[in-house]
Structure formats: structure tokens, C-alpha cells
Amino acid sequence: MSEGQSLQRTPLYGCHLEAAARMVDFAGWEMPVQYTGVIEEHRAVRTAAGLFDVSHMGEVRVKGAGAEAFLQRLTPNDVSKLVPGRAHYSGLLNERGTYIDDILIYKLGAADFMVVVNASNAPRDFEWIASRAAGEPEVEVTNESDRYALLALQGPKAAGILAPLASVDVTGLKYYGFAQGKVDGVPALISRTGYTGEDGFELYLAPEDAPRVWRKLLDGGAVPAGLGARDTLRLEAAMALYGHEIDETTTPWEAGLAWVVKMDKGDFLGRDALAAQKAHGVPRKLVGFEVQGRGIARQGHAVVSEGGAVGAVTSGTWSPTFEKALGLAYVPPELAAVGTALAIDVRGRALPAVVVEIPFYRRAR
């Protein structure tokens, strides 16, 4: 970030300062990385409930009689299967079948969709979507990122904390289902989604309403959790993070996200490239690994074999749940089987690791 360029702040900035958060620059936003500590916040989400400010995420509205057909051609998941009140995980792929971003698509109405994108990509994603919609009949694309604050209430106690404040039956919402109602008397889109591997909800609120809802949820027993815990939680759940597991060089096949791609739904952007890669086979695969020695493999560290780099770590951290170092890495397919021994070059030292099943963490249902 160049000097003089100020960081953006979410409507909850004041709440973070009140809670003595450590603030950092994240994708041009001044965001809380931790309040009391990453491990403590992580464990609160796994055992009780944590509250995250993720208002930096972007929202792009796609409306009109042509909206569904447009999104169906733009994205790899099957938009025709969505009904109002349901969302799904998908991607924005380019012609090469690689990721511009990963996204959520909410079907608000028959001809009304909300696309939720990563903060780091939001301006670019909006341009991408809007430029492809230009010339499409009856598709209207607007950037509504400024219209929403977004809170994520996550953890086994999330439903119990939210239910008494909500005007709709939140316990009856299905995973990836959502409802428009009220929380503490203010309008909210309440979605049973999240990025932690736990049960939980994401609340889309008007910016001016967000601080009171934030405080109400903390009063209800949630603890504030920062981007540090968000990262360790999503990594234990082996959920991809743009700029780490996925970017403009990776396809859904490589990233283990084949379930997002519906090749039989008709043509969509990137489909030809994906069909070709499927026929030829992938050059690399994303695997989960567990470090066996002392140390932590982190993004950018090379996976080495016989002295040369054969892959790279995309994310790595200390896992508060398992109390060991875990990570995700791209490796050649022949090194991808569970149980394969890997060596990771950590500052010139070969750290032993072994390929394990992902997700590392799966909640009991």
C-alpha cells in the first residue's frame, strides 16, 4: 500500500478498537487480526461461538430476466438448481478454467442474485462480471459492497445465540439456506454459511445497524474473533483461500474443487479448458499434510524431492485443534496419495511431513 493511500474501514471499526483488537492491513482494509489471541479465539469458535467482522467482502447484485442464464454461463456450478432462499459456492473462472475468484451466489428471487466475492478481488470481480454482462439483454449488474456490513457468527453455540434475536426460525435453516428477516429489530439477510468448519450464520446488515447487532451477539455470549483465527479455522477445514490454494494459475480440478464444476449443465466460461485438462490429467494436486518434525511449513515453502522443488506449500500454520503444524500444498499427482512422505524446505532445512486426508477437521453432526 503506497503512502498517503488510506485504508478502508468497516462500520465496525469502532467496535474493534473498543475490544482492543490488533488491527492490520488486509487487502486494503484495516481489519482485526486478533483480540485476545488466535488460539483462544480459534478454540472459542470450535467449542462455543465466535463473531467475525467480514464486512470487507464484496457484494455484486445481478438482476433481470436474463440474470440466471447469464450467471449460468459465467460460473461453473449449476445456477438453475438454486431456488430463492438458497445459496451455493462457485467460482469466477477465466477462459483457461483458472480462478479469478471463488464466490457465493445467493438466489434472492427468480431474477435477482447476489454474488459475494473476496475483498482482495472485489473491484476486479465487479469489472469482470459487469463487462461480461454488457450487451446482455436484461442483465443489470451493480456493486453493492457499500450497502452491506457482514458478520459471521460461527460455532456450536451460534444458533442458540442468534435464535432469540431473530425474527425467523434460524435453527430451521438448512446449510447454505438463507432467509430475509430481522435481527434485534433491524433488517438482515441471515445465511447458514461460514468459513470455519463449524455450524454458523452470516448476517448481511445495513452498515449503520451493524454495531448494535455486533454488541447484541457479544452480549449473547459470542467472543470477537479476528482474521488470524479465521485463517486457522478455515485451514483445519481445508477450505480454499484465494491467493493461496486458488488463483489464476489453478483450476478446480487441481484444487480439489471438482464438486463445484457441473460439466453436464451446458456451456460456461472455462469449460473447454477444463474438459481438456480433465482429458489430459492434472499436472498437480492439492493435498493436506501434517508436519512430523518441529517447525511450521508456510505459504511459499517448496516441497522437495531428490534436491529439487516438486511443489509448493499454499497455506500452513500451527493447528490449535490438533496442536501440530498442518498445511496444504500442490504436489505432482504421484505424491498425492495419503501416507506419502514429503519433505518441505523450511529456510534451508528439510522438514519431514506426510500427506493426510483433508479436511483435517470435520465437526461432529
Partner 1 sequence: MYPRDYLYSREHEWLRVEDDLCVLGITEFAQQELGEVVFVELPEIGQVFDANDELGTIESVKAVAEVFTPVAGEVVEVNDAVVDDPELLNEDPHGDGWLIKIRFSSADDLKTMMKADEYEEFVQSGEA
Binding site for partner 1 (CB under 8 A): 33-34, 37-39, 228, 232, 294-296, 298, 317-318, 320, 347
Q: Which is nearer to partner 1, 241 or 255 (CB)?
A: 241
Compute the least distance from the CB of residue 103 to partner 1, in Å: 27
Q: Shortest Cβ distance from residue 218 to partner 1 (Å)?
A: 22
In whole angstroms, how close is the CB of 285 to partner 1 at the nearest point?
27
Q: What burial class does residue 144 get, using C-beta atoms within 10 Å of its C-beta: 0-12 exposed, 13-18 middle, 19+ buried?
A: middle
In whole angstroms, what is the distance from residue 267 CA to residue 74 CA? 9
Decide whether 43 or 215 has the Cβ nearer to partner 1: 43
**Which cell goes with 263?**
460439466
Q: Which is nearer to partner 1, 161 or 343 (CB)?
A: 343
**Strand 223-224 to strand 50-53: parallel, antiparallel, or no bridges (unpaired)?**
parallel
* Closer residue to partner 1 in complex, CB, 36/167: 36
Q: What is the DSSP string of 220-239?
A: TT-EE--HHHHHHHHHHTT-
* Beta strand pairing call for 149-154 and 140-143: unpaired
- HSE-CB at 315 with a 13 A cutoff on CA atoms is 23
Q: Indicate if the alpha-carbon torsion angle 181, 182, 183, 186 is positive or negative.
A: positive
* Pairing of the two strands 200-205 and 186-191: antiparallel
Q: How far is CA 288 from CA 22, 71, 208, 221, 256, in A?
A: 30, 32, 41, 33, 11
Nearer to partner 1, 179 or 312 (CB): 312
Residues 6+ apart with CB under 8 A from 279: none
* Least distance between partner 1 and beta carbon 231 (Å): 8
Smaller CB separation from partner 1, 79 or 291: 291
Q: What does DSSP say about strands 341-346 and 349-356: parallel, antiparallel, or unpaired? A: antiparallel
Report d(CA 289, CA 353) in Å as an integer.
6
Is the torsion defined by CA of 261, 263, 265, 269 positive or negative?
positive
Q: Minimum CB separation from partner 1 for residue 301, in Å?
A: 10
Q: Which is nearer to partner 1, 141 or 296 (CB)?
A: 296
347 or 365, CB closer to partner 1?
Answer: 347
Number of C-beta neighbours around residue 283 at 10 A = 12
Supply the minimum distance, in Å, between the C-beta of residue 22 and partner 1: 8
> Do 188 and 203 form a contact (C-beta atoms < 8 A)?
yes
- Rounded least distance, CB 255 to partner 1, Å: 24
Q: Which residue's CB is nearer to partner 1, number 324 or number 362?
A: 324
User: Shortest Cβ distance from residue 307 to partner 1 (Å)?
Assistant: 23
Work out how close the CB of 294 gets to partner 1 at its nearest, in angstroms, rounded to a whole number: 6
